[in-house]
Amino acid sequence: MSTERTYNVPLRREYQKVPRWRRTKKAVKALKEFLQKHMKSEDVKLSKDLNEEIWKHGIRNPPHHVKVTVTKDDKGVVTADLFGKKEVAPKPAKKTKAKA
């Protein structure tokens, strides 16, 4: 049985506590701490899309808040993904005709 929730995580208050050149690193740490607290698990994984969204404007300009969809599985592993991202199924390989 897995739990799924959606959060709009505030990041600005946390990353303002550090110098400008450390802001996005602090935003990532703040996001993980928020998810650990609210999902009650130490094992938090961020998706590639979510990480790229946070780092989109570089190390000095992270977003003020980010909306995430969070799932927790039976083992206690929490995975966070960007809200509204669709899971893209891999396309099947094209069949080629063999020449005789």
Closest CA to 65 of 91, 36, 89, 30: 30
Q: Which domains does the chain have, with CATH numbers?
A: 3-82 (3.10.440.10)
C-alpha–C-alpha distance, residues 58 and 44, integer Å: 23
Bridge partners, residue 10, by sequence: 65
Do 15 and 25 touch, CB atoms closer than 8 A?
Answer: no
DSSP SS3 for 37 = helix
Q: What is the pLDDT of residues 27-76, one digit of tens each?
A: 999 999 999 999 999 999 999 999 999 999 999 999 999 999 999 999 99
Record the pTM: 0.83
* 65, two tokens: 């808040």
In sequence order, the 6+-apart residues with CB closer than 8 A to the CB of 82 are 47, 49, 50, 53, 66, 67, 68, 69
